[in-house]
Structure 1
Amino acid sequence: MSNFNEISSKYEKDSVIQKSASEILFDLLNIQPGDNVLDLGCGTGHISKLIRAKTDGQVVGVDPSEGMIEKANEHYSGQNILFHTHLAEQLDYKDEFEIIFCNSAFQWFIDTKKVLKACNIALRQNGKMAIQAPATNNYCPNFIQAIEEVKRHESTKDTFSCFTSPWLFLNTSDEYSALFEEAGLSVEKSSIDKVTTSHSAEEAYKIFESGASAGYLNQTYYNIQVTREYIESFRNIIKKSFEDQAKETGQVDLTFYRIYLLAVKK
């Protein structure tokens, strides 16, 4: 069974896509020395560490996964970063941060309206929040193709039919903007970009395991018991799909559609 507690030990090494996408957030937010920054959905803290290098202000990382926070504290203790375990919906800060940095986490929020209201309260006047997250129902055509094979395969189709997606995928940037505007934040940039990178089939599988498997193989999102046999078959089908998607060069052109949004508290 996969969830973020279980994948935390390999997340920092395998989260290639999340790391590269975060670079755009740094450009959007332009963190200044002295800024207080909240890393919302900080995972194992590798982005929090980069934030720490850009500011002498307070850096706080929050994540709902105890395993992720445990690894964050293990890796970055002594670097003056505060890590806390709790849901984004439970944020209780007020007028504390100039910056909220949210990288590859927005799709996981259970109640986005509640989260954004809490973020508005947590930001200081003229504070900024930026998100990067997979977007649209076709968020990664390669993943979708692999999952379609899981849906059809005799060994997995019945169990997978009992899966309910935990993710929020909106199909237009305007829909994302509307959520932020409703929370009282002014959207300055909002676009869904297509990003394609090349990887070996093995690397593509590791990228899948670094995030998507925490949903697709999580008992929480099935209404029947998930067996070890199902998990093994599921993973074998996904691996085989990436191998089949590879070109003659052995590389998979991995495509993601991602929302990049910058909002300001006016």
Structure 2
Amino acid sequence: MSKMDFSKIATEYEEYATVQKSASEILLKLLKIRTNDDVLDLGCGTGHLTRKIRSLSNGNVVGVDPSEGMMREAIEKSKGLEIVYEIKSAEDIDYVESFDVIFCNSAFQWFKDPEKVIKNCYRALKRNGRIGIQAPAKKIYCPNFIEAVEMVKRDERTKEIFSHFKEPWFFLETAEEYKSLFEKCGFKVVFSKIETITTEHTPEDVLKIFSSGAIAGYLNQDYYNIKLTANYISVFKEIVRKAFEYQAKKGMVKLKFNRIFLIAVKE
């Protein structure tokens, strides 16, 4: 396999990012998936982007995710596309020189042992293979969400139970820290940048975005050492919904996310 030229990647990133594209679309373009590439979608969820990857490559396409529910949906929606799905965590993948590309979109923050995952990915890639990640970054990964959750933290109805919440996410504060982590595991990092991406949405849509990801942490019994009550869950959602309504100006919320974009190569 010929070695890819990444010398223009920073310029290309700026080009892609100026267009109104989603973070996942930017990551796909930066990875330059070719028609014969074998690709692993790590943290594939319901397979929406795995199916997109299949449209770009005739090689082997594999999706991995620990959620049985998401895997069922992914398999159902991918019938006839020759995509292999496996239910396992990123910490447990054991492929050896099997892929040209590893695509990891908005999943890195959930990994319990990021260093082990990166080493697993290094082993899974062929020589000159590349990995791309896009994920929320920095402790204040989304000021809108943090502001809403601060209201939960202070509210008399929720503050006692919330005080027992332990954040499950992995965030680093700088692109250099992410770069160093991947280099420690043997990769050559060719691009690493934290970007603040701002999009506009109705409060209802912001709530949907919150509910599609972050809420899986904030309202997950696994991350509390005290029993969650139905009332707590209900009031939590109410507070967050009102917070997003309060953030709206002329009916729209400017939703800000800090995101890491990183491309690394196994030389």
Under TM normalisation by the shorter chain, which class is it?
Answer: over 0.9
Corresponding position of 2:226: 224
Whether 1:95 and 2:97 are equivalent positions in the alignment is yes
Structure 1 residue 77: Cα displacement: 1.7
Aligned AA (2:95):
Y
1:39-61 per-residue CA deviation (whole Å, 9 max, x = no partner) reads 00000000000000000000000
Dislocated runs of 4+, deviation >4 Å? none
Unaligned runs of 5+ in 2: 1-20
Q: Deviations over 1:106-137 (max 9, x none)?
A: 00001011100000000000000000000001
Q: Does 1:215 align with 2:217?
A: yes
Are 1:59 and 2:64 counterparts? no
In structure 2, C-alpha distance between the alignment counterparts of 1:100 and 1:262, rounded to whole Å? 10
CA deviation profile, 1:140-194 (whole Å, cap 9, x unmatched): 0000000000000011100000000000111000110111001101000000001
Q: Which residue pairs with 1:172 in the alignment?
A: 174
**Corresponding residue for 2:190?**
188
What CA distance in whole angstroms lies between the structure 2 residues aligned with 1:58 and 1:154? Answer: 53
Residue 139 of structure 2 corresponds to 137
| Aligned position for 1:12 | none
Matched, 1:265 2:243: no
* CA offsets 1:33-92 (integer angstroms, 9 cap, x no match): 110000000000000000000000000000011111011011112211011110100011
Question: Residue 122 of structure 2: SS of its match in structure 1?
Answer: helix
Of structures 1 and 2, the one with the larger relative CO (CA 8 A, separation 6+) is 1
**1:40 maps to 2:42:** yes
The alignment partner of 1:53 has SS state of: helix
Structure 2 Cα separation of the partners of residues 48 and 20 of structure 1: 15
How many pairs does the alignment contain? 247
Q: What secondary structure sits across from 2:33 in the alignment?
A: coil
CA distance in 1, matches of 2:79, 2:47: 10
TM-score, scaled relative to structure 1: 0.92
- Separation (CA, whole Å) in 2 of partners of 1:74 and 1:216: 29
* Aligned equivalents of 2:174, 2:105: Cα separation in 1: 18
Amino acid at match of 2:158: T
Question: Within 2, Cα distance between the matches of 1:227 and 1:74?
Answer: 34
AA of the residue aligned to 1:47: L
User: 1:265 corresponds to which letter in structure 2?
Assistant: K
Q: CA deviation at 1:27?
A: 1.2
Which aligned pairs between 1:109-148 and structure 2 lie closer than 5 A? 109-148=111-150
1:159 to 153, 158, 161: 161
Aligned to 2:18: none
Q: 1:126 is aligned with what amino acid?
A: N
Query: Which residue identity lines up with residue 260 of structure 1 in the other structure?
Result: F
Q: Distance in 2 between the 1:245 and 1:105 partners?
A: 27
Residue 72 of structure 1 corresponds to 74
Q: Separation in 2 of the partners of 1:159 and 1:211?
A: 21
Q: Which amino acid aligns with 1:228?
A: A
* CA RMSD after TM alignment: 0.7
Q: Does 1:238 align with 2:240?
A: yes
* Mapped partners of 1:70, 1:192: distance in 2: 33
